[in-house]
């Protein structure tokens, strides 16, 4: 069974940095795209950044220049380096895997359980 497990969340002061990781486990042949989403209380889940299997990246405007997404295909892991954090970055951050090819077939979308990021003033 494929699982996505996030780690690295926590409490940080405004202006600080955090690095999130998301590791996909299971018998996985490939993953087309992976990404980070976030959801603050009362808000919709929104895309933060995504990265394709060929390392093409896409960022939401509100994180451009502050966050960097990266990927290790051998480890089926993605990372999100978050710098210059702001209070409005406070949210639960979710990892997503899109089109995961496994020994049991293709998973179109798989989500992790989420990790809390809290930015204090």
The contacts found for 43-50 with CB under 8 angstroms, 24 or more apart, are 43/91, 45/94, 48/80, 48/93, 49/80, 50/96
At 11, list the tokens. Answer: 């409490």
Q: Tell me if 66 sits within 8 A of 84, measured CB to CB.
A: yes
Predicted confidence (pLDDT) per residue in 36-89, tens digit? 999 999 999 999 999 999 999 999 999 999 999 999 999 999 999 999 999 999
d(CA 14, CA 16): 5
Q: Compute the average pLDDT of residues 90-104.
A: 97
Helix (H) or strand (E) holding 45: none
Predicted confidence (pLDDT) per residue in 6-46, tens digit? 999 999 999 999 999 999 999 999 999 999 999 999 999 99
1-36 burial, b at 16+ Cβ within 10 Å, e below that, comes to ebebebebbeebeeeeebebbbbbeeeeeebebbbb
């Amino acid at each position: 069974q494929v699982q996505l497990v996030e780690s690295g969340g926590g409490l940080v002061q405004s202006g600080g940095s955090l690095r999130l990781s998301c590791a996909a486990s299971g018998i996985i042949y490939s993953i087309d795209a992976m990404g980070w989403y976030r959801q603050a209380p009362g808000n919709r889940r929104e895309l933060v950044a995504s990265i394709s299997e060929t390392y093409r990246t896409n960022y939401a405007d509100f994180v451009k220049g502050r966050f960097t997404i990266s990927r290790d295909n051998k480890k089926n892991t993605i990372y999100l380096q978050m710098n210059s954090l702001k209070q409005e970055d406070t949210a639960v951050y979710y990892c997503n895997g899109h089109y995961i090819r496994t020994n049991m077939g293709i998973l179109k979308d798989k989500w992790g359980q989420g990790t809390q990021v809290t930015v204090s003033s």
